[in-house]
Amino acid sequence: MTDGLFVTFEGGDGAGKTTQARLLEQWVAAAGRTVVRTREPGGTEVGALIREIVLHHRGDVAPRAEALLYAADRAHHIAALVRPALERGDVVIQDRYLDSSVAYQGAGRVLGRDEVRELSLWAAEGLLPDLTVLLDLDPAAARARLDAEDKPFDRLEAEKEAFHTAVRAEFLALAAAEPTRFLVADASRAPEDIASEVRARVRTLLGEAPDDVGAAD
């Protein structure tokens, strides 16, 4: 049993996960809680090496190898960074977690939801987030955002529309299957509107009434 709070952000590429993680980090820190903000892959030194392989390697990576690389990153990341932070009572805010593996490798790579989820849970020793925020955005709108950034796509961003459509559908199916854990937010809205919705849910998880940390809004 952990004493901290574990919040993850999920969604397709270009949905705004990094922006929302940053906004939540600022708000939680202003409310006086210690925050650890991290990401998968790449939240540790080992993870940074794995991130370079899975996202920027030139050439093909077999789908099962890709899934195993993400699981390896996850196993080390949870053991080395996330669990210790939660045991200290910190709030961990993370960009992507096991639901991304289920969506991208399970659905996008057609490896199967159950197999990839079981692999991820084994790697993480069963750890699930207290809250998973799914930023839902149409793949065409997400691609337009990525195009506007005018930078090279990584291996997953460069996949075709059918891949990203399958990923989005799987994310929504995961959220429908675990409505208590998930908060589905329309990512086409203004960032501050989304952030306000996320803060309302986090307040509840922290056991605080709506006005208790209002000064941090």
178 Ramachandran zone, left/alpha/beta (phi>0; psi -120 to 50): beta
Q: Is residue 216 part of a domain?
A: no
Q: Is residue 213 part of a domain?
A: no
171 within 8 A of 12, measured Cβ to Cβ: yes
Cα(146)–Cα(128) distance, rounded to whole angstroms? 29
Positive or negative, the CA dihedral 50, 51, 52, 54 is positive
Q: Is residue 127 part of a domain?
A: yes
75-107 exposure pattern, b = at least 16 Cβ within 10 A, e = fewer? bbbbeebbbebbeeebbbbbbbbbbbbbbbbbb
Q: Is residue 193 part of a domain?
A: yes
pLDDT score at 1: 40
Cα(42)–Cα(51) distance, rounded to whole angstroms? 5
Cα(91)–Cα(25) distance, rounded to whole angstroms? 9
The domain that contains 162 carries what CATH number? 3.40.50.300
Q: Could you please report the per-residue DSSP string of 119-175? A: HHHHHTTT---SEEEEEE--HHHHHHHHHHHTS---TTTTS-HHHHHHHHHHHHHHH
pLDDT score at 38: 98
pLDDT score at 207: 85
- Expressed as residue numbers, the domain containing 65 is 5-208
Q: Is residue 67 part of a domain?
A: yes
Cα(41)–Cα(189) distance, rounded to whole angstroms? 27
- Three-class DSSP category at 73: helix
Number of structural domains, the chain?
A: 1
Which position has the token pair 């705004």? 16
pTM to 2 decimal places? 0.90
Compute φ and ψ for 21, nearest 5 degrees. -60, -40
Q: Is residue 215 part of a domain?
A: no
What confidence tens digit (pLDDT) does each residue in 155-212 have? 777 778 899 999 999 999 999 999 999 999 999 999 999 999 999 999 999 987 554 4
Low-confidence ranges of the chain (pLDDT < 50): 1, 211-216
Residue 214 is given by DSSP the state G
196-214 exposure pattern, b = at least 16 Cβ within 10 A, e = fewer? ebbbeebbeeeeeeeeebe
- Three-class DSSP category at 8: strand
Q: Is residue 167 part of a domain?
A: yes
pLDDT score at 209: 52
pLDDT score at 214: 47
pLDDT score at 166: 93
Q: Is residue 214 part of a domain?
A: no
